[in-house]
Amino acid sequence: MDTTPRTVRANGITQAYRVWGPQDAEPLVLLHARGADGADWTPIAPALATGPAGPRRVYAPDLRGHGRSDWPGGYAYETMRDDIHALLGVLGIDRTDVVGHSLGGAVAYLLAQRSPGLVRRLVLEDVPAPFPLDPPRPRAERPGGDTPYDWDMILATDEQRNAPNPVWWDHMGRITMPTLLIGGGPSSPIPQEQIAAFAELLPDSRHITLDAGHLVHETRPREFLAAVTEFLSPAARTPS
């Protein structure tokens, strides 16, 4: 299976993405965490493309400032959301399931808020609620050497994580599609009560915990795949 990164122009930048599965299968979009890229999904993407919820056409883009996508600055969460919205338009995808991890999960829920008709089902992997950090996260010190991401992206997303736009929380009621929230349990740095708060607010949500820490799909891939494939299975879907 050829998973060489591909590129397209969308939202004014070059965006890289990887793809698995038959071209005519139903789409599934995977959005990675901060500091990673689409390759982060490589260990589990083939199973998502061919598993019991499949066949699926799985897309794993690199968010702006990461990997082989452009590093143009302008790292507002909303801009990353608009990148993915534009990418899906270029790819001809008008309705898709979306899985997002951490930062990718925030981009995913903002996409679902903006375009609820575009996102059929939503999976949020250890994604914090947009509550201000108390105490705020201190300014990060840049590590030595090259990084596979734009350091300005780290600074920009830290700033937004410290003081999220209140509208992100206010608009959670727009996320009306079925949503699966997967928490990483007590070993995760993400406050798990925030994920529970998500579950209480969203009108059609399921909340499970896999005691894996923040990297749920990496640490416990079998359990993660089982939960996601069951949630995305045809029998579990509501009519469009």
Sheet with 205-209, edge to edge strand ranges: 6-10, 13-20, 56-61, 26-31, 96-101, 119-125, 179-183, 205-209
Query: Which pLDDT score is estimated for 53?
Result: 66
> For the whole prediction, is pTM greater than 0.75?
yes
* Residue 172 CA: distances (Å) to CA of 110, 113, 178, 199: 9, 7, 13, 11
One digit per residue, the tens of pLDDT, for the chain of length 240 reads 557 899 999 999 999 999 999 999 999 999 999 999 999 999 999 999 997 766 999 999 999 999 999 999 999 999 999 999 999 999 999 999 999 999 999 999 999 999 999 999 999 999 999 999 989 999 999 988 899 999 999 999 999 999 999 999 999 999 999 999 999 999 999 999 999 998 999 999 999 999 999 999 999 999 999 999 999 987 655 443
Query: Which pLDDT score is estimated for 239?
Result: 41
Answer for the pair 31, 108: CB distance below 8 angstroms, yes or no: yes
* Number of other CB atoms surrounding residue 153 within 10 Å: 22
Q: Is 98 helix (H, G, I), strand (E, B) or coil?
A: strand
Query: Which pLDDT score is estimated for 240?
Result: 39
Query: Which pLDDT score is estimated for 234?
Result: 76
Q: Please name each of the domains of the chain with its CATH number.
A: 6-236 (3.40.50.1820)
- The residue type of 156 is A
* Residue 9 CA: distances (Å) to CA of 107, 155, 186: 19, 25, 41
